[in-house]
Amino acid sequence: MAEERRQKLCSVILPTESMKAMAESVGVGSLQEDSCLALSEEVSYRIKEIAQDALKFMHHGKRRKLTTGDIDHALKLKNVEPLYGFQSQEFIPFRFASGGGRELHFYEEKEVDLSDIINTPLPRVPLDVSLKAHWLSIDGVQPAIPENPPPVPKEQQKTDSTEPLKAVKPGQEEEGSIQTKGQGASSAEVKGSSAKMVPLMRMKPRSTHELSVEQQLYYKEITEACVGSCEAKRAVCVCNKCYLFLFQVRVNVVQNNLALLIYLMRMVKALMDNPTLYLEKYLHELIPAVVTCIVSKQLCLRPDVDNHWALRDFAARLMAQSCKTFSTTTNNIQSRITKTFTKALLDDKTQWTTRYGCIAGLAELGHDVIKTLIIPRLSVEGARIKAVMDGPVVSNIDKIGADHVQSLLLKHCASVVAKTRPLPDMVDQYKVDYGYLGTMLCSHVVKARAQAAFQAQTVNRTTLTITQPRPTLSVSQSGLSTSSGSRAPSIIKVPSSLTLMSTRPGTPTQPSPPATKYIVMATSAGAASTHYLPTAPTAILHSAADYTYPAMRVKRKKSLTTMVEDLLCNRS
């Protein structure tokens, strides 16, 4: 600690080599080792002394940074001529050089051509000192104006987010909140909630997250718009950035609410298709959500009947699209995603659902990926499928899973094989090459070749039109009964008893007024539920007026504000 530091300070003296180098620089050729030692001790002591004096000047100059000027003044105190020429504010232009086994820092003095200096245009005159007044506090309350810092300091946000259950001291609460004069009673409620707003991005066992009034409002609007019946509204809504998205995905994954997940994925799609949005900043939130929808072990309550496969396909396509759009050399999304999928695929214990997702995800990434990563695994996967198909009676779920994986593999591989493999399609040869799946693959390849020759048009996969001849995204609450070719209905009736909208009151243990809150409970058991209570309109208006999003970065804050305002406009 501090003591250690001091002891280190105690032993610090300049190395004798420096003395030698300095002596050489002033023309003293050979310096005795003893003299070097004596010199370095003396010089170190003097330097420390000067530094201590310079610190005084720093303190009285009311700065935190020691400047070269301070050292000049300290030298002046000691009746030493100050060092002229070091006026550089930011850095001291030392150059480093080594050679002949020695290392050296030196000050590079370039020859300066005066005419250059004379001919260069004059730099802009720095602005003169000016005075600006603002209210730091009005009757003991700090107003929320741009001159004042955000009401909740970063440290507190951090503690709030990591320890949401920590009780807020009454005094702190008062300081931390913003509240403008004359807002009266309703602002007090806002104050209470805004002081405890927490980010919802983290899913921790046994912790209670509370949504602020604004977030509740926004959540409600978004949900209504997405799930509700008005397509126009959905378009407006979906066009807005949605940071609550991941949260919803998580909640719904845990709830196994397939219908909503599908809609959420469609929302992502809408977001991605919107060219005016810059989603790069939100990828870290979007991608995990999408990947979850691809590879999750369970996405619906009845995996044997529900068509969660379609969701996986759709999400995989989304993933591919985002890879294509956003992958850069710095974020490396594609390779990271590929790695994730491959790892899961190579694992023997992976369940069929996840396996399906992995293959789908990989397959969507393009022909090269299929060729290099999937086709070599065909025989292995074939054996696995065979074991399920031909083996002793196993669970129905496994069988369905294997079936889906098989058709998926066939579908994707066929087109690739058709392109890469030389023409004679011999079934036996296929069998040798691809094992169990060889036979079927052969017939698919033949079909594919015929189709390609016939249609000679390629399917644009990235812009996902629903008319493609593949399992379309559709909502099917009751099994696989939906016809695979039909377009998904655009109006979906969501049961009003959806848990998301239950009107049970908030948990009474919450210290703040429950009437203005969503409380999202996430427990270790994985069950999650949201409670919602309608908010008084006045409170909403107030909250929109003095929005606070301490948990979010400033930019996001702005966008969210505009969103809330948009929504309010829409409402009215």
CB of 557 to other proteins, least distance (A): 16
CB nearer other proteins, residue 147 or residue 428: 147
Rank residues 77 and 466 by Cβ distance to other proteins and give the closer one: 77
Q: Closest Cα to residue 266, out of 243, 295, 234?
A: 234
**Nearer Cβ to other proteins, position 46 or 504?**
46
CB of 322 to other proteins, least distance (A): 37
* Nearer Cβ to other proteins (48/166): 48
Minimal distance in Å, beta carbon 419 to other proteins?
A: 58
Closest CB to other proteins among 7 and 330?
7
- For residues 309 and 356, give the distance between their C-alpha atoms in angstroms, rounded to a whole number: 8
Nearer to other proteins, 41 or 398 (CB): 41
Cβ neighbour number for residue 505 with a 10 Å cutoff: 12
CA distance 222 to 500: 12
Which residues are CB-contacts of 347 (< 8 A; sequence separation ≥ 6)?
none
Min dist CB 46 to other proteins, Å, is: 9
Residues in a beta bridge with 445: none
Minimum distance, C-beta of residue 127 to other proteins, in the bound complex (Å): 4
Sign of the CA dihedral with 337 first, then 341, 343, and 349 last:
positive
Calpha distance 321→155 (Å, rounded):
38
d(CA 441, CA 409): 9
In angstroms, give the least distance from the CB of 308 to other proteins. Answer: 50
Q: How far is the CB of 62 from other proteins (least distance, A)?
A: 6
Least separation, in Å, of the C-beta of 505 and other proteins? Answer: 34
Q: How far is the CB of 45 from other proteins (least distance, A)?
A: 5
Pairing of strands 207-211, 518-522: antiparallel
Closest C-alpha among 372, 361, 374 to residue 309: 361
DSSP 49-106: HHHHHHHHHHHHTT-SS--HHHHHHHHHHTT----TT---SS---EEEEEETTEEEEE
Q: Nearer to other proteins by C-beta: 55 or 236?
A: 55
* Nearer CB in complex with other proteins: 149/485: 149
- Write down the least CB distance from residue 166 to other proteins, Å: 16
**What residue ranges bind other proteins (CB under 8 A)?**
2-4, 6-7, 9-10, 41-42, 44-45, 48-49, 52, 56-57, 59-65, 69, 73, 77, 126-140, 142, 147-149, 153, 171, 175
Q: Of 169 and 419, which CB lies nearer to other proteins in the complex structure? A: 169
Alpha-carbon span 326 to 171, nearest angstrom: 46
Running DSSP on this structure, what letter comes out for residue 522?
Answer: E
Helix residue ranges per DSSP H, 228-282: 231-239, 245-255, 258-273
Please name the residues in contact with 398: beta carbons below 8 A apart, sequence gap of 6 or more: 352, 388
Nearer to other proteins, 60 or 367 (CB): 60
Q: What letter does residue 373 receive in the DSSP assignment?
A: I
Query: From CA 541, how far away is CA 176, in angstroms rounded?
Result: 21
Q: Which amino acid is at 537?
A: P
What is the rounded distance in angstroms from the CA atom of residue 392 to the CA atom of residue 398?
Answer: 12
Shortest Cβ 153–other proteins spacing (Å): 7
User: Nearest distance from residue 150's CB to other proteins, in Å?
Assistant: 9
Judged by CB, which is closer to other proteins: 167, or 536? 167
Cβ neighbours, 10 Å, residue 269:
20
Q: Which residues contact 159 (CB under 8 A, 6 or more apart)?
A: 166
160 vs 221 by CB, closer to other proteins: 160
- Cα separation, 413 vs 445, in Å, equals 8
